[in-house]
């Protein structure tokens, strides 16, 4: 079962492919705002280097947010097109769950709290639990956009090892340094979560028959675009 993973939720475009959970290949490259012109050539290159063709794929997984508004639209619209042309199962997954899945490989039996910087002292975040006994992480809190000052309230009731990480932590370093205690660990400066890891998470879902229909391949932004927020502050 060959699964392609596509993440365009950040400046780094990540694509990866696995066969029944085994590594085949991945490409991760910082594009900033060039996803629209580079995503398809990167996928084509990955398939060429791994000796695969688009028609060989059995499924695709793609991140649906939160993250870059433009990047998410490009990634999801690309997968919509692949789904129509190839007629294969696809699954769209939270960027935050993808991040937590990667950290669970290093910090098992933990509470995992991914963060993405949402600017203006806000973060996108969620809470997951990994107890080493099940195939999927247990979601404890839904994806949400909150003020960084509300993070302590979000995790206060979890009395086990808690891992906070992501760009929300990195870009608000001074605030999150106050979280350090015996049960809370701050993991900083994770540069990339890897296209293979996303494809591996997608494999776990698709092999269990968990898929997304065409209408579900839409971005989950969690907040309005910053340009819209700035306009409302000025004119409303």
**For the segment 8-55, what is each residue's pLDDT rounded down to a tens digit?**
999 999 999 999 999 999 999 998 777 888 999 999 999 999 999 999
**For the segment 166-191, what is each residue's pLDDT rounded down to a tens digit?**
999 999 988 998 887 778 999 999 99
The matching CATH number, chosen from 3.40.50.2000, 3.30.420.40, 3.40.50.300, 2.50.20.10, for 96-187 is 3.30.420.40
The pTM score is: 0.93
CA-CA-CA-CA dihedral for 76, 80, 82, 88, to nearest 10: 110
Query: Quick one: CA dihedral 206, 211, 217, 221, positive or negative?
Result: negative
How does residue 236 score in pLDDT terms, banded at 50, 70 and 90?
A: very low
Domain limits, the chain: 2-94+192-225, 96-187
Closest residue by Cα to residue 9 from 96, 90, 82: 96
**For the segment 84-108, what is each residue's pLDDT rounded down to a tens digit?**
999 999 999 999 999 999 999 999 8
Cis peptide before 205 (omega within 30 of 0): no
Instruction: Round to whole Å and give the CA distance between 90 and 213.
Output: 8
CATH H superfamily, domain 2-94+192-225: ATPase, nucleotide binding domain (3.30.420.40)
Instruction: Round to whole Å and give the CA distance between 182 and 93.
Output: 32
Q: Order the strands of the 90-93 sheet from edge to edge.
A: 22-30, 12-19, 2-7, 59-63, 90-93
């Amino acid at each position: 079962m060959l699964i392609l993973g596509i993440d365009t939720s950040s400046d780094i475009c990540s694509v990866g492919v696995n066969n029944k959970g085994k590594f085949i290949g991945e490409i991760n490259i910082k594009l900033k705002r060039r996803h629209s012109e580079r995503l398809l050539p990167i996928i084509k290159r990955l398939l060429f280097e791994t000796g695969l063709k688009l028609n060989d794929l059995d499924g695709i997984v793609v991140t649906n947010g939160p993250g870059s508004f433009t990047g998410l639209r490009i990634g999801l619209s690309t997968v919509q097109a692949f789904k129509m042309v190839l007629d294969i199962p696809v699954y769209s997954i939270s960027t935050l769950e993808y991040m937590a899945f990667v950290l669970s490989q290093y910090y098992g039996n933990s509470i995992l709290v991914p963060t993405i910087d949402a600017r203006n002292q806000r973060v996108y975040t969620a809470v997951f639990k990994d107890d080493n006994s099940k195939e999927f992480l247990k979601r404890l809190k839904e994806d949400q956009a909150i003020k960084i000052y509300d993070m302590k309230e979000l995790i206060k009731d979890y009395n086990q090892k808690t891992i906070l990480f992501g760009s929300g932590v990195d870009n608000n370093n001074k605030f999150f340094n106050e979280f350090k205690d015996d049960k809370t660990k701050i993991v900083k400066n994770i540069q990339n979560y890897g296209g293979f890891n996303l494809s591996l998470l997608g494999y776990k879902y698709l092999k269990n028959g968990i898929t997304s229909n065409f209408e579900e391949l839409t971005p989950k932004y969690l907040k309005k675009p910053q340009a819209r927020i700035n306009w409302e502050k000025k004119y409303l």
